[in-house]
Structure formats: structure tokens, C-alpha cells
Amino acid sequence: LSSCRDRLNASRDITPVTPPNCRLIKGIETGSEDIDILPNGLAFISSGLKYPGIKSLAPDKPGEIFLMDLNEDNPRALELRISRGFDLSSFNPHGISTYIDRDDTVYLFVVNHPHQKSTVELFKFVEDDNSLVHLKTIRHDLLISVNDIVAMGPDSFYATNDHYFSDFALMFLEMFLGLTWSNVVYYSPKEVKEVAAGFYSANGINISPDRKYVYVADILDHNVHVMEKHANWSLSHVKTLQLDTLVDNLSIDPHTGDIWTGCHPNGMKLFLNDPENLPASEVLRIQNILSEEPVVTRVYADDGSVLQGTSVASIYKRKLLIGTVFHRALYCEL
């Protein structure tokens, strides 16, 4: 039990760190689990995740994808319309990733959990009428408990499976026993294969700006793995950066290569969700992860009074978006 408590960082409390100029985003009330920002400053936000064992503030409401234009002086969150022919009633969005094709088409990949299963939904973003056109649903036996994805092409991606089992009781047992059966899968229409394994719970995944390295967060091992990407899409381990927090999603600053991550200082609070002892929030910026001495800075930390259960932090110019598993979202001007 003590190792389970350690993995959840059950005894950790945090000291608040509040950047100036932060405000809660109007209209996002039931989560902003993942955020991906295009080079032109348009930010996609996945909202309304229902995840086994974690509270949902709107259990009966389908999930949504929001859009924010970070070039505006006072950006607002706008719900994107989703084309007909897609089952919105069971939409349960989790990790997201964008891909811009040679012809400037923007594809949005969304991890979806309809009826507690895992699929990846592929959409085309139509900016003129703020809509997403559903292109296809991807299912595969290796995509069992998908958490996050990073797009590699218009129909290929890396995905993390955060558990080996998809059944909630078995998922809990897996964590309790400390099994390292979680993995990373590469998917394309031609080939699907496991490319990295041995994680307690592989969570956020992203890629360096030069497309040479893939970063994987192991939320229960409190670390970020740096993997080298090979021509056949396989990944080999380069190094691991150990942290003292549960690392969730990873975002990359395209200009500096810095990794920004939303973290859970204390995972136990996330599952217990006691109103007297709220799940806290933490944002870390990791600079020069490939060097001997990476620099880790706590940019934001809150005891849950403003923001509960931070899962992601994404940067565009000097603007920072901070998202959560089931709660609000924060916009900061740094």
C-alpha cells in the first residue's frame, strides 16, 4: 500500500505560485483535459472527459471541443460544431493532437472513450465556419486504453495506453500492484505496432520541434522519458528526467523546444476529490531536457482553490493556457 501511496504522491502539499495576469476562461466549466495550439495561435481544447474513478461535473453531458484565438486581445472559448453523422451523444474526448498537411489542411486527432472503449477520431478543421468535419473512427486491438496521441501524418500517430486493462477494477489492481504493462503504440493504415513499453502509466506524449525525439510522461513514475525516433517509427530510450509530481500532458514550445506540462502534485486528492481537500494544480517548464542539467521551473501552482487537477499547459508567444481534467481552464499573459 505504501508504494501505491508513493506513486500517487499522497503526502505532498504545495506552495502557491501565481503568475500575474491570469483569469479563468468563461464557458469552460467541465474540464479542459488537453490543449493543442496551432502555429497561427488557434488553440483547440478538449472538454468534458469522463474518466473511471475521477469525478465529472457534468456526467450526462457529452464532451466538446473548444477553440480560442490567442491573437485576440481578450480571447474567448468558442465551441466547435461537429459535422453530422458522428455520434455526439457518446463523445468523451481525452488527448488531442493537430497535424497540418502540405496543402495547409488542419487535421485534429481526438482520443475518444465512447461507452468506456478507446477510439481515435479524425476530424478536418474548417476555419471559415468554426466546425470539425468527422473523417473516420480508428479502432485497433493495440489501442486499448488510450490516453494521449501525437500526430505524425494525416492518418498516422503515436498513442499512449495508460493501462493494460480497460476494466476499471483491473485498472485499479494494475496500479495497486505496480505493474509496468503500459505502452506506446505507433499507428498507420499500413502498420500498427508497440514501439515502447515498461511504463507504470504512460500519459502525455509529444515530439521535439526537429521531430527527432518523442517525449513520454509516466504519470505514476513521476517522470518524462526522452525517446529517439527511428526511420521505422520504433523508439529507443535516451534518458529519463525524474520529477516529484504526477506528470500529465506534455506541450512543446515550437520556438525554444521547452516542454510545458500540467501536473498533479498529489494524485490521491484527484481520486478522493474531497471538497475540504481539493486536488491541486502545478505547471512545470522544462528547458534543455537533452542536456546534462535540464532546468525545471514551477511556473504555476495552486492548492485547488482556483484550479483543480491541472492536466496540461500550452504556450503561444507570451500566452499560457492551463487545462484541467474535470474543472475550469486558466488563461495567463506571462
Q: Is 112 annotated as a binding residue?
A: no
What letter would DSSP give residue 128? Answer: G
Strand order in the sheet with 146-153: 146-153, 156-161, 182-187, 192-199
Residue 283's nearest CA partner among 300, 258, 303, 270 is 300
148 known member of a binding site: yes
SS3 content of the chain, % helix, strand, coil (to 5): 10, 45, 45
Closest CA to 80 of 27, 38, 130: 130
Distance CA 30, CA 95 (A): 15
Grid cell of 238 as nine digits: 535516451
Dihedral, 228, 229, 234, 237 alpha carbons, nearest 10 = 10
Backbone angles phi, psi at 132, to 5 degrees: -115, 125
Does the annotation place 34 within a ligand binding site? yes
Q: Is 40 annotated as a binding residue?
A: no
Distance CA 327, CA 48 (A): 9
Annotation says 94 is catalytic: yes
Amino acid letter, residue 100: I
At a CB cut-off of 8 Å and minimum separation 6, what does 310 contact? 248, 262, 263, 264, 281, 282, 283, 300, 302, 322, 323, 324
Of 94, 113, 264, 327, the active-site residue reads 94
244 a known binding residue?
no
Residue 162 annotated as binding site: no
CA–CA separation, 314 and 327 (whole Å): 17
The answer to whether 225 touches 218, Cβ cutoff 8 Å, is yes
Tell me the catalytic residues. 94
Annotated binding site for Ca(2+): 33-34, 96, 147-148, 203, 248-249
Annotated binding site: 33-34, 96, 147-148, 203, 248-249
